[in-house]
Amino acid sequence: MSKKNVFIIAEIGINHNGDIEIAKKLIDVATVCGCDAVKFQKRTIDIVYSQKQLDALRESPWGTTFREQKEGLEFGKKEYDEIDRYCKEKKIIWFASAWDIESQKFLRQYDLKYNKIASAMIIYDDFLREVASEGKHTFISTGMSEIKQIDKAVDIFCEANCPYELMHCISTYPMDDTDANLTCIKTLRDRYNCNVGYSGHEVGLAVSYAATAMGISSLERHITLGRAMYGSDQAASVEPGGLHSLVGAVRKIEKALGDGIIKITDKEIPIAEKLRSHIPWESNY
């Protein structure tokens, strides 16, 4: 991965609402806006949720039970085959965060370049070892975690000699700007001496701009065709117009950060000569 540019991940997640055509439209949006990758989520319903949860009542477009809702939102092999084909056609990287070991094994058939550890999964040591065993660059979100839990996850990836980067994250949907605690980006970078990204769930773009200005290596935001659509992640997602603005601003901020060397720039020299012409000073240019 480039150390110069923020790796921008458009998190589709389950915002496709179980519709492959919506998924394709979201892939199109990410591609047109200049994102580096799109990301999905994969779950084995009967592993991730208890029978009691699955039997509970929940109204949704797919029925009246929690199971019907979760099964309605979940893509299987047919859909992921199409996602793989479509992303290759559009020349954009895709990968997914698995929520159980079986789902991680399912994703292996697509020879993906990256892995992602969702914040919920960072405490599941066996899962972390399974992912780390693949040796792929892995984004690790740190939401809902304490230092000792992040320490353990980092140790697992280091022991496996698996490349990784952390992603500062606050796991509320949507996140209040006042909870962002972006200084944690520096804390994580200093403690683990690794690249640190930001996975945001806020409404708006300002916090993501601030994170970019702090030198993050990656930025992940949920995207949607419309925040009023059905789904728990929609309200914390970025619509197409916002995504276009976000990517454009991130690229400008990257350039604006510069190299940190204090000097008179070439463009400043003629201005300095003009504005200092009335005072004695020696120019070395």
Query: Where are the domains positioned within the chain?
Result: 7-259
Q: What is the pLDDT of residue 281?
A: 79
pLDDT tens for 252-276 read: 999 999 999 999 999 999 999 999 9
Nearest to 105 by CA among 131, 81, 138: 131
> Helices H, strands E: what count in the chain?
12, 10
b/e map of 147-167 (b: 16 or more CB within 10 Å)?
eeebeebbebbeebebebbbb
Q: What is the pLDDT of residue 3?
A: 46
In terms of DSSP H, where are the helices of 39-197? 45-48, 51-55, 66-73, 77-90, 101-107, 125-132, 147-159, 184-192
Nearest to 38 by CA among 52, 51, 25, 56: 25
- Omega cis (within 30) before 163: no
Residue 282 has pLDDT above 90, yes or no: no
pLDDT tens for 101-136 read: 999 999 999 999 999 999 999 999 999 999 999 999
Nearest to 69 by CA among 48, 83, 86, 94: 48
In the chain, the amino acid numbered 235 is A
Measured in degrees and rounded to the nearest 5, phi and psi for residue 170 equal -115, 120
Identify the CATH class of 7-259. alpha beta
With bands split at pLDDT 50, 70 and 90, how would you rate the model's confidence at 1?
very low
Residue 182 has pLDDT above 80, yes or no: yes
Q: What is the pLDDT of residue 4?
A: 64
Q: What is the pLDDT of residue 164?
A: 98
pLDDT tens for 5-20 read: 999 999 999 999 999 9
Q: How many CB atoms lie within 10 A of CB 4?
A: 8
Q: How many CB atoms lie within 10 A of CB 173?
A: 14
* Strand ranges in 190-243 using DSSP code E only, listed in sequence order: 196-200, 218-222
Q: How many CB atoms lie within 10 A of CB 110?
A: 15
DSSP-assigned states of every residue in 101-144: HHHHHHHGGG--SEEEE-GGGTT-HHHHHHHHTT--EEEEE-TT
Q: What is the pLDDT of residue 145?
A: 98
Per the confidence metrics, is the pTM higher than 0.85?
yes
Q: What is the pLDDT of residue 285?
A: 60
In the chain, the amino acid numbered 211 is A
b/e map of 205-221 (b: 16 or more CB within 10 Å)?
bebbbbbbebebbbbbb
